Amino acid sequence: MIDFLEREPFRRARDLGRTNPMHTTLPRRFYADPDFYRSELERFYFNRWICAGRADQLPNSGDYFTRSLADESIIVTRDSAGAIHALFNVCRHRGTRLCEQAEGRFVERIQCPYHAWTYDLSGRLLAAPHMAAGFCKDEYPLHRAGCDVWDGHVFVLLRPANPAHPPLPAHPPLPALRDQLGDLPERFAAYRMADLRLGRRIVYEVKANWKLIVLNYNECLHCPTLHPALNKLHHYLGADNVTPTACYCGGAMGFRDGVETMSMDGKRRREYLPGLSESQRQQVAYYSIYPNFLLSLHPDYIMTHTLWPRAHDRTEIVCEWHFHPDQMAKPDFHIDDAIEFWDLTNRQDWWIAEQSQAGINSRVYQPGPYSEREELLWSFDEIVRREAERLA
């Protein structure tokens, strides 16, 4: 695992940039090679915590949702004590997938549809019909993945985490989510994200590599030409970025005069989120939390994107808008202004990401130069490149 708090590579990169300012984009294989894609999933999606969803998707015991990545599927569920677990969706009898629905509710237990092996909501084996006398059920719990919650967001680590079995040499003890997040919990504490509730969800299928989505999210130089509606609300050169780390990159953008939030007309129709400072009320914070979580913090709501790679040139993106329940309870509560604005902007971004993928697929593509305003992009590229070299 890399040191998630290491900043020195970025300092070295900036020092190098003083004598050689022409950082370039990544080679073609990083976006167009299926074999490279499969190995990259292991590096980024199976060795880091990834955002799977929200704790408020599981309000009651037995509620669950599933997530899939490559050949893996996990069940995220809440047990009778209120704890949230991430369980590999694989029966310990003959390997059958236990659950195929995207979400639902278990009635106290999880039962395999093949031979009725039955587990409790924490994964403990309760019943194994027709097994010999002396068979020990305690030795066959469901495999657990790492699972933790940050301010309402459920993160999983897709490596076995069963406490009953010592870690294998290939699977060292799981790193803590807190170590990967760094200073983000303190940085965003004022938003009280755990208090918010889902207002709308839209799932997009984008014909582009997941990294192109990350890159596009982290710059606004394209906004005047691609996003005329957004460009009326933000100045495209107005980002105040923080120093990128190996865990995240991002910053904040203030509003143009008279703008109150990101909506079709820039007007705010909801109260400010409680606890925000005056400066937080005047900006939107946009952060990419590697590898799959794009977090956009507005004065009156938050928007999230989770990225689920499906192929080297295809990504499923789950976009959600979350609002304060006090506002949602009002009879005149209105969210269409925010949804319409960001759905339009999302689709513009997905279109240009697909055009980028199509161009990079060409045999004549060569890495091109970044501008000095694209520091966040080449800092992300350096993480990707360094991981590829480390495991080559």
pLDDT tens-digit profile, the chain (392 residues): 333 333 444 444 445 444 556 899 999 999 999 999 999 999 889 999 999 999 999 999 999 999 999 999 999 999 999 999 999 999 999 999 999 999 999 999 999 999 999 999 999 999 999 999 999 999 999 999 999 999 999 999 998 776 544 444 445 567 899 999 999 999 999 999 999 999 999 999 999 999 999 999 999 999 999 999 999 999 989 889 999 999 999 999 999 999 999 999 999 999 999 999 999 999 999 999 999 999 999 999 999 999 999 999 999 999 999 999 999 999 999 999 999 999 999 999 999 999 999 999 999 999 999 999 999 999 999 999 998 887 66
Q: What is the pLDDT of residue 9?
A: 43
Domain boundaries, the chain: 50-174, 187-390
Burial letters 277-292, b for 16+ CB under 10 A, else e:
eeebbebbbbbbbbbb
Q: Pick the closest to residue 318 from 346, 287, 349, 299 (CA basis).
A: 346
- The CATH code for residues 50-174 is 2.102.10.10
For residue 64, what are the contacts with CB-CB under 8 A and spacing of at least 6? 58, 75, 76, 77, 78, 99, 103, 104, 105, 106
Q: Pick the closest to residue 154 from 177, 124, 130 (CA basis).
A: 177
Instruction: Note the pTM of the prediction, 2 decimals.
Output: 0.91
Rounded Cα distance between 254 and 234, Å, is: 6
Inter-residue contact 46 to 68 (CB < 8 Å): no
Three-class SS of residue 360? helix
8: number of Cβ within 10 Å: 9
CA torsion sign, 155 to 160 to 165 to 170? Answer: negative
Q: What is the pLDDT of residue 3?
A: 36
Q: What is the pLDDT of residue 4?
A: 35
Inter-residue contact 111 to 100 (CB < 8 Å): no
Inter-residue contact 310 to 195 (CB < 8 Å): no
CA torsion sign, 323 to 275 to 233 to 345? Answer: negative
Rounded Cα distance between 211 and 25, Å, is: 11
- The CATH code for residues 187-390 is 3.90.380.10
